[in-house]
Amino acid sequence: MLRVGLTGGIGSGKSEVSSRLAAHGAAVIDADQAARDVVAPGTPGLAQVVSVFGDGVLRPDGSLDRPVLGKIVFGDEAALGKLNAIVHPLVHRHMADAEERAIREGGDEAVIVHDIPLLAEGGQSKSAGFDLVIVVDVSPEVQLARLTARRGMNEEDAVARMAAQATREQRLAIADIVIDNSGTLADLDKRVGEVWADLRARAAAGH
């Protein structure tokens, strides 16, 4: 079994890599999806968030109003700390459960990819104990161009989102494998295919 951390800055195309690895046969565990799942309507996680932040963080349909909650915790370290104290343990448990299922289904040669946007922040890559880390890499110029052209962000917002994450250098510093995604989708297909062959070989050899 091979445990892989996958990360990349906003606009790098990490999701494109993640979906391609899943198509090849990797068991992909998405941290962002886990964070949504643990505060879905009817979950204990959502009940805890509401108990701390009030009914005002709910939409009319009973789901979490993320923009409203975001405004409450943005720039307020105490509020953010309270939110993280609720959500982080739940996400960790959710992802651990998903990994246990993947191991049962894939056996000794399973390749489990943890898709974690903020893996380079706060030394998470070391504490998570991954066998290796893959970083999807593009230049800051390419990030900015994609965020403004494809996601419709204005340049100021895009720069702020990029600045809130680890730097390119910090991400590359934790990388065991780098996937350059500054080219075409065909280039990406080829590179991911190469990486997948490497991951399969490592899993079969016990790393």
Q: Where are the domains of the chain?
A: 2-204
- Asked if 40 and 34 count as a contact pair (C-beta separation under 8 A), the reply is no
- Asked if 38 and 91 count as a contact pair (C-beta separation under 8 A), the reply is yes
User: What digits encode the pLDDT tens for the residues 151-164?
Assistant: 788 898 899 889 88
User: Minimal CA–CA distance to 28: which of 192, 191, 190, 162?
Assistant: 192
Quick one: pLDDT at residue 151? 79
Query: Which has the minimum average pLDDT: 29-43, 78-92, 150-164, 169-183?
Result: 150-164
The domain 2-204 is classified under which CATH number: 3.60.110.10, 3.40.50.300, 1.20.1250.20, 3.20.20.70?
A: 3.40.50.300
Name which residue leads in pLDDT, 123 or 73: 73
Rounded-to-5 percentages of helix, strand, coil across the chain: 60, 15, 25
pLDDT at residue 127 greater than cutoff 60: no
Q: How many other β-carbons are positioned within 10 Å of the β-carbon of residue 12? A: 25
Q: How many other β-carbons are positioned within 10 Å of the β-carbon of residue 165? A: 18
pLDDT at residue 183 greater than cutoff 90: yes
pLDDT at residue 207 greater than cutoff 80: no
- Asked if 145 and 152 count as a contact pair (C-beta separation under 8 A), the reply is no
pLDDT at residue 126 greater than cutoff 90: no
Do strands 111-115 and 132-137 pair parallel, antiparallel, or not at all (unpaired)? unpaired
Q: What confidence category does residue 50 fall into, taking pLDDT thresholds of 50, 70 and 90?
A: very high
Quick one: pLDDT at residue 123? 64
- Give me the mean pLDDT over the 70-96 stretch: 90
pLDDT at residue 122 greater than cutoff 80: no
Quick one: pLDDT at residue 153? 86
Give me the amino acid identity at 136: V
> What is the share, in percent, of the chain residues with pLDDT greater than 90?
75
User: Minimal CA–CA distance to 14: which of 162, 117, 165?
Assistant: 117
Contacts of 129 (CB under 8 A, 6+ apart): 3
Quick one: pLDDT at residue 185? 94
- Give me the mean pLDDT over the 88-94 stretch: 92
Q: What confidence category does residue 124 fall into, taking pLDDT thresholds of 50, 70 and 90?
A: low
